[in-house]
Amino acid sequence: MIVFPAIDLKDGEAVRLLKGEMDTATVFNSNPAAQAKEFEDAGFEFLHMVDLNGAFEGRPVNRSVVEDIIKTVSMPTQLGGGIRDLKTIEQWLETGVSRVILGTVAVKNPALVIEACKVFPGKIVVGIDARGGMVATEGWAETSDLEATDLARKFEDAGVSAIVYTDIDRDGLLQGCNVESTANLAREISIPVIASGGVASVEDIKQLKAVEDAGIEGVICGRSIYDGRIDPKEALKIAAG
């Protein structure tokens, strides 16, 4: 199981939000590239990034910061936030991002995701962000009438590399990951699932590891790593099993 440390980018800084609300941002590092290097030096092997400004504006915003991160670390990276067309996917992949995460566009234009999987095989991840089990879009500003499982099933045979499943109601609150709903989603589909939202301690990683066979590829950790609640060495040891 992969432990993905998260760098959420807002106005060029590494921040964390509460429940995805932009006005709740806590700045954890004003130098995201240095933060990425710290993560790599701690032993992490795959970095998760979100262009928060991009998610709200529907276009890449923190491009220069992402470029700095990619130049600084050698580990692979995945990036989401404001990626809504094939040209933007191509631009990010050319920049050196290993995988792009499609969220809003997966709801509004699933055909584009399917096309992207054909054009960029192995490079497409779908981000499903759920509030009360219903999919949210536009940087979580809007909630759709689509259930998370129904959206995931649309991409069952498309060639999606993974699904990042975020429980918005827990995101940034350190109240624990919604292991049950994550595992339930993973059992319903054949696409690997990455857990996200609310991961508070190594106990969450242990619980996810226990249901890894359901189809859980990894877990994204944000605030809990930044504030020291999760020790990287311990987390990586548990995930390696």
Active site residue ranges: 8, 129
Rounded to an integer, what distance in angstroms lies between the CA atom of residue 53 and that of residue 198? 21
DSSP 96: T
DSSP, residue by residue, 22-80: EEEEEEEES-HHHHHHHHHHTT---EEEEEHHHHHHTS---HHHHHHHHHH--S-EEEE
Amino acid letter for position 178: N
How far is C-alpha 52 from the geometric centre of its chain's CA atoms? 12
Which residue in 181, 183, 228, 184 sits closest to 202, CA to CA? 228
* Beta pairing class for 134-137 and 142-147: antiparallel
